[in-house]
Structures are given as C-alpha cells and as structure tokens.
Structure 1
Amino acid sequence: MPLVSIVMPAYNSSDYISESILSILNQSYTHWELIIVNDNSCDSTVNVITPYLNDKRIKLINNIRNLGGAGSRNVAIEQSKGRYIAFLDSDDLWHADKLSSHIQFMTENNVGFSYSNYQQFYNDKNNTLITAPVRVNYKQMLKSNFIGCLTVVYDTTLFGKFYFPETKKRHDFALWLNMLKKFDYAYNVGEVLANYRVHNASLSSNKKDAFQSYYYILRNLEGLSFFRSFINTILFTILSLLKKKNNTLYLFFVKLFISNIQFSK
C-alpha cells in the first residue's frame, strides 16, 4: 500500500476541522499521513486539532506568520513523504472510499493525475452534484476549472512534486494548468467521493473578483493573448453560474463550447 500524503491548510477552522479530520480517519485506505498546516489561526483551531495528534499519522505544522492557502499547502507538500499527494480543506469532507477508489483506479489504469465528482452542500442540506469530465487536458482546462481541489490525487513518481503558484485567488486552477503541461490528461475516477462545504461568504463572493483573478492567471501566468484570455474568462464565468443553477444546462454548454469533452453518465 503506497503512502498517501494529505495536505490540509487550516485558518480559524475550529467550527469544522474536526469533521474533516474524522472523514480521513474513516478512510477504508489506511496508509496515509495527514499534514495540517495551521496558518497562524487566532481561534481555537489548534486546541481542536491537538487530541487527534495521538494518531501518529497526523502531523501539525504551525506557521509563524499567515501564508495564505497556497503558501500553507506548499509547506505541507514540502514536508510530505507519500508517493501520492491529495488535498482536503479544513471544512470539506471525504467519503470513506475516497482514497481506496483513487489508488485502485490510478493503479489499474496507469493514471498519474486523478480527480472525482463531488457534491456541494450548504448547512447540511441543499446538495448540488458537481459532475466533472471523464478526462481533461490543458487546452480544455483553459476554458473552465473542471477540477475541485478536494478531489485531486496525483502521483509524484512521474514528475515529482508540484507546488501552488502564489496567486491571490484560484491558485488551485493555476496549479492544474501547470500539471497539465506535464500530464497529457487528468482523469475522473467516475464516482462522487467528496463534499464541498459552501459558506455564506462563498455564496456572496465577488463575481468581479472571480473574473479578474481568472483572467490574471490566463494572461499573466499562462501568457495567453488578451483576446484568448478574455474570451476564456467570459466562458468560465458563464459556466460557473450555470453549474450552480442548472446542471443540465451547464453540461449542454460545456459540450457545445469545448470540443472532445465527455461526461460520465
């Protein structure tokens, strides 16, 4: 059983982090290490984490100063020892077979970069299924971020460790693009294996800020032309709104505007 390193940044996460840790402890796949990076929290996050440190698979790193999500994840990646690296934020949840399904799928299909479908939930209700493509490449990924961070598992034996670009927003999207310059495709395991918690803050997130951050990655980090960056950002914005409102219409528009992309039935 190869070791899986689970990366978990935590900032003022006392309300939810216990649930997230328990979803890891309940994994049917048991050969993992959980690296929690406390990003200089000012609540009782560390007190909540401390009892779980009795399990030697769980490690806690305390940042001296606030590094943000990307910086904290990079600290954990640097310290990781596993062949596989996976990500779970301190308020999200995994299904019990999350890791076993990924490792089996990746081993049997010789896959180095995998993800899964997931559900969004708000206040323990209003579940919304987020269906991802069967597989996605770099060119397709430019048009929308199809991969949820909480669903990713990748194999470090192929191209080594990947680190999050230090962008203000959407550093996970920037990372997937960097990885897809090495991996020909990322592949969907084909199951719903995680739950993404939606907060009030995320429900009322600034759409202008989301547009600007997406455009910044395409234009400044990826070096796309102004026209390609703008058009792809418009498409991303439309698809993001549809994904939250109407899954059927969302899938229709994805297939309409992105060539050679398929979704599992």
Structure 2
Amino acid sequence: MCNKNIENLVSIITPSYNSEDFISFTIKSVLDQTYQNWEMIIIDDCSADNSTEIIQGYIQKDSRIKLIYTKKNSGPSAARNLAIEISKGRYIAFLDADDIWLPHKLKTQIQFMNDNNLSFTYSSYYLIDEKGKDLGVFNTKSNISYTGMLRTCSVGCLTAIYDTQKIGKLYMEGVFGHEDYTLWLKILKKVDYAYGIQEPLAKYRILNNSLSRDKIQAAKYQWQVYRKIEKLSLAKSLYYFVQYAYHGVKKYN
C-alpha cells in the first residue's frame, strides 16, 4: 500500500528496544485505525531480543511500516528524533512500542485538528498494566499553555500530535528523562495553547520498571528541565517544582 495523499499523511514515531512482548499489540492497533493515511516509522535501538523479526513480519504485509536501525543504543529521545527527521507526513504522532491506540484515535484527532485549525493536540487515555489489565483513566485538561505545562504535564506522549505545516518539525532535547516533555514546552513557545480531547483514545502501559513509577528520579529529571533546558531562575524553578510535586501526587491517585 502507498500513501497518495501526502497532505494529510500522519507519521507515527515509534522507538523500540527489546519490545518483543508488546510490539505486536502496538502495530496491530495502528493497522486497525479507521484513518488509513499513515506511515509508521519504527526505530530499533539495538534490541537484543526477537522484536525486529516480529516487526519485519508486519513489514512484509504492509509497506507503510518502516524499520530503521540505530548504530548504537542512544535512548528513546534520539530514536524519536531520527524518525522525525526522516518522516514525510504533515502530522507527527507518537506511539511507544508498549502502548496501544484505539481504532478511531487518528480519525478523531485529525478531524478535531482540521475542524478547529489546531497545531498541537492530545487526549485522555486509559492506564493498563503489563498484562493489559485496566488500571483506570487519565483524564486530561481541555487545554494547556506553556506556563500550565511547567506546572504539570497533561500531555501523554502516546496521544500527542503536532502539525509540521503550521509549526515546522521540532525535536526532543536532553539525554535524560522527560524528553517528550521538553518537546511539548518547545511547541508551546510557538503556539498559545495545546488542546485536549476528553475522550480516551489510547492505552498507556505502566511497566514495573517504568519511569512513571520512580517518583524520585522523575523529580530529578523535572528539576533539570527547569534549570538546564528551560533555564528558569532558581526562584521560578522552585515555584514550578512545588506545583509539579503537588500535581504529581494527585496525578494517578
């Protein structure tokens, strides 16, 4: 299959590292999309398991899926940036190799963006465990600004889409955690607001070793974002960090 309508092509950015347990669920959720004008760029970051063989099996069935190999393990930020660089779509969407989209995710979100002339959108999402068991829902905000994003991240990476035609190609920064968060901040310096769809459109898988479970490490990364990436003053960093801690306690409770 080939994409004839580049104008509304969605480039799906998927970093993959030892993802054999979940990558099939992720790819199938893309193949099941009711919106079919997409390319899926999977960047394998030097996996040592059978995930690349699984991915190649899907490539044989659908040429919209592409697999690129990194020369050395560089982490999800570098993998995503490589995929963004070679992407051909107007829209950049993100989907990690252990997460899942609902079938109407792309159709709903692209229509929402087109109908309202929006540059950057996201949605609520379900929380699941390693076995796919339901853990609840993350209900996102209807909109968020740059200063609002400094207080708390309301954008789940697996739901984010931005329009390169309106704001250009933008990349993630940093070699530590929260790289997707730095991208959201960068986008929100170019647009006044990001807008959220209240309906959950994806499923975020919480792994036992995931960063979201390591509150102390996540807090350290957050502080580095304020000071090293955004270069906020000590006073502003402390102010927003207190806000971040408050919202962090509430976020998944």
Give the TM-score range, shorter chain.
over 0.9
Per-residue Cα deviation, 1:196-241 (whole angstroms, up to 9, x for no partner): 0011112884322111110110112112111221231222122122
Q: Following the alignment from structure 1 to structure 2, what is the Cα–Cα distance between the partners of residues 156 and 190? A: 23
Residue-pair matches, total: 245
Percent of residue pairs identical: 43
Unaligned runs of 5+ in 1: 246-265
**Contact kept? 1:71, 1:166, Cα under 8 Å:** no
Verify the 8 A CA contact 1:7 1:77 in the aligned structure 2: yes
> Match of 2:41?
35
| Aligned equivalents of 1:120, 1:240: Cα separation in 2 | 16
1:128 CA displacement: 1.6
Partner of 1:51 in structure 2?
A: 57
| Aligned counterparts of 1:102 and 1:126: Cα–Cα separation in 2 | 23
State the superposition RMSD in angstroms.
1.3
Query: What residue number does 1:261 align with?
Result: none
Counterpart secondary structure, 1:200: coil
SS in 1 for 2:244: helix
Normalising by structure 1, we get a TM-score of 0.89
Quick one: distance in 2 between partners of 1:139 and 1:70?
23
- Is residue 139 of structure 1 aligned with residue 139 of structure 2? no
Q: Tell me the distance in 1 between the aligned counterparts of 2:176 and 2:211.
A: 19
Deviations 1:48-96 (A, max 9, x none): 1111112110000011101101000001001100010100000000000
The Cα shift of 1:45 comes to 1.0
CA distance in 2, matches of 1:167, 1:77: 17
SS of aligned partner of 2:33: coil
1:189 CA displacement:
2.3
SS in structure 2 at match of 1:114 = strand
Does 1:69 pair with 2:115? Answer: no
Counterpart residue type for residue 29 of structure 1: Y
Q: How does 1:150-169 map to 2 (within 5 A)?
A: 150-169=158-177
Residue 106 of structure 2 corresponds to: 99
* SS in structure 2 at match of 1:190: strand
Report the CA distance between 1:132 and its aligned residue: 1.0
Give the Cα–Cα distance (whole angstroms) in 2 for the partners of residues 103 and 127 of structure 1. 27
Q: CA separation in 2, counterparts of 1:204 and 1:216?
A: 16
Tell me how far apart the structure 2 counterparts of residues 10 and 125 of structure 1 sit (CA, whole Å): 22
Aligned twin of 2:25: 19
Q: Could you say what secondary structure the match of 2:98 adopts?
A: coil
Kept in 2: contact 1:4–1:82 (CA 8 A) = yes
Supply the distance in 2 between the matched residues of 1:119 and 1:167 (Cα, whole angstroms). 28
- Does residue 221 of the first structure (1) align with residue 229 of the second (2)? yes
Q: Distance in 2 between matches of 1:26 and 1:11?
A: 23
Cα pair distance change 1:239/1:196, threshold 3 Å: same
| Matched-pair contact (CA < 8 Å) for 1:38–1:61 | yes
